[in-house]
Amino acid sequence: MIRPRTTTEVLEAVRAAVRDGRALRIVGAARWNDAGHPVRAPETLSLAELTGVVSYRPDDLTMTVEAGTTLAELDATTRARGQWCPLLAWGDDHGTVGATLATATSGPFADALGRPRDLTLGLEAIDGTGRHIVAGGRVVKNVAGFDLTRALVGAWGTLGIITRVHLRLRPRPAVDATFAFTPRGAGLPPMPIAALAQVPLPSAVAATLGVADAAWLLRVGANASAVAAARAALDGAGRVVELDAAAWDLVRRDSAPPSPARQWRWDPLSLRLRDRFDPQRLLNPGLLGEAP
C-alpha cells in the first residue's frame, strides 16, 4: 500500500503508475470499499496520511484541508469558531473529506445546505495522465476557466485523485434545534414539506427528513426568536418533542441511500471524459462497472 503524505508524493506515485501502466485502487479511510463494483488494481494508494488543515480563515468562511482529513476533524476545527462545513454526509464523520467529495456523498440536508459540488470552491488533484491540476480557488465566487472542480467532484477517483480541497464554510446558526414532529390528524402525509408549508420556518437551516416513531425529524437553525416562533408554530400544528442533534447521527448512519456507483451511466460523453483524464484506466478501474 502506498501512503503518500503530500500532494507531491501522490504525483510521483501516479506518474510511476502511468509509466508502468499499473492501476491503483484509491482509498481514503477505506470505508467505501464495496460502494460500487470491485476495483481491479494490483496496488492501493491510501490518502489516510495526507491529512491536516492547511489554512483556515474564519472571517472569510473558507478552509483548505488535505484530502485525508476526516469530517470529524473538520467539524471540530470549525465548531470552535461557530462555523461548519455542512456536508453532514450519509454515514459518519470518520470518513475523509476527499472521499466525501470524490463520491459526492451528500446527506439529509443536501437541499437546504448544499451538496459537495456546492461547497467545494477548488481543489488539487492528480489525474490519470499524471497532470497536477490546481482548479478553482479559495474565493467564494469564481468563474475563471473551465470547471475542473465540478468534473472531479463525484467522479469516484476515476478521473483524478483529489489531494487537497478548498471548502466554503457557513456560520452555525445561533440556535440549532431538532424536533420530532407529528402533524395533527391521522397518519403522516406523504410529503413532509407540504405538511410544513403552512409553518413559517426560518430558512437559514431548515430540513425535514425521515420517519422515526411516526414523527418527522426536523432541524431548525436560526436566531433565537425565529427558532422559538417556529417551535410555537409547530406546537400549533401537531405534537413536538425536542431532541438532541445527535438524533441525526442515527439518520445519517441508517438511512443512507444505495450507492449511485452501482448503476453508473456510461454514455459516450462520459466515456470520452474518462478517456481524456485516465486513458489507461489506471484509477479505480472497474469501480463504476465499466468494461475493462
Partner 1 sequence: MTALATTLERIVGPTHVLSRPAALLAYRSDALPGHRLMPSLAVMPGTREELVAVVRALAADGTPFVARGAGTGLSGGALADGIVLLGLHRLRRILAIDPAARTATVEPGVVNATLTRAAAVHGLHYAPDPSSQTACTIGGNIAENAGGPHCLKYGVTLNHVRRATVVLPSGEVVELDRGDDGGYDLLGAFVGSEGCFGVVVDATVQLTPDPQQVITLLADFLRVRDAATATSRIIAAGIVPAALELMDQATIEAVESSVYAAGYPRDAAAVLLAEVDGPSIGLADDARAIEQLCREAGARGVRVATDAGERARLWQGRKKAFGAMGRVAPHLVVQDAVVPRTALADLLEEIQAIGAAHRLRVCNVFHAGDGNLHPNIPYDADDPDESARVHRAMGEIMARCIAAGGTITGEHGVGLDKLAYMESLFTAETLDAMCALRAVFDPERRANPGKVVPVRSCREWHATAAAR
Q: Which is nearer to partner 1, 42 or 268 (CB)?
A: 268
CB of 48 to partner 1, least distance (A): 25
Q: Percentages helix, strand, coil for the chain, rounded to the nearest 5?
A: 30, 25, 45
Quick check: 58 binds partner 1 (CB under 8 A)? Answer: yes
Quick check: 170 binds partner 1 (CB under 8 A)? Answer: yes
Q: Are 287 and 39 in contact (CB under 8 A)?
A: yes
H or E element in which residue 185 lies? none
Q: Which is nearer to partner 1, 237 or 247 (CB)?
A: 237
CB of 1 to partner 1, least distance (A): 25
Q: Are 75 and 93 in contact (CB under 8 A)?
A: yes
> Site mask, partner 1, residues 223-262, x = CB under 8 A?
xxxxx-xx-----------------------------xxx
Residues 18, 11: Cα–Cα separation, whole Å? 10
* Site stretch for partner 1 (CB under 8 A), options 38-46, 110-118, 236-244, 248-256: 110-118
CB of 156 to partner 1, least distance (A): 9
Quick check: 118 binds partner 1 (CB under 8 A)? Answer: yes
CB of 228 to partner 1, least distance (A): 8
Q: How many helical (H) and strand (E) elements, i.e. helices and strands, does the chain have? A: 10, 13
Q: Which is nearer to partner 1, 145 or 187 (CB)?
A: 145
Kindly report the backbone phi and psi dihedral angles of residue 65, in degrees, each rounded to the nearest multiple of 5, phi listed first.
-130, 155
In terms of residues, how long is the chain?
292
Quick check: 62 binds partner 1 (CB under 8 A)? Answer: yes
Q: Are 34 and 153 in contact (CB under 8 A)?
A: no
* Site stretch for partner 1 (CB under 8 A), options 21-29, 94-102, 176-184, 267-275: 267-275
Residues 184, 261: Cα–Cα separation, whole Å? 40
Quick check: 276 binds partner 1 (CB under 8 A)? Answer: yes
List, as one string, the DSSP characters of 41-74.
-SEEEE-TTS--EEEEEGGGTEEEEETT-BHHHH
* Site stretch for partner 1 (CB under 8 A), options 44-52, 91-99, 199-207, 209-217: 199-207
Q: Are 101 and 120 in contact (CB under 8 A)?
A: yes
Q: How many binding residues for partner 1 (CB under 8 A)?
A: 72
Q: Which is nearer to partner 1, 62 or 69 (CB)?
A: 62
Residues in 26-55 that interact with partner 1 by CB under 8 A: none
Residues 286, 25: Cα–Cα separation, whole Å? 10
> Site mask, partner 1, residues 119-148, x = CB under 8 A?
--------x-xxxxxxx-xxxxxxxxxxxx
Residues 2, 26: Cα–Cα separation, whole Å? 10
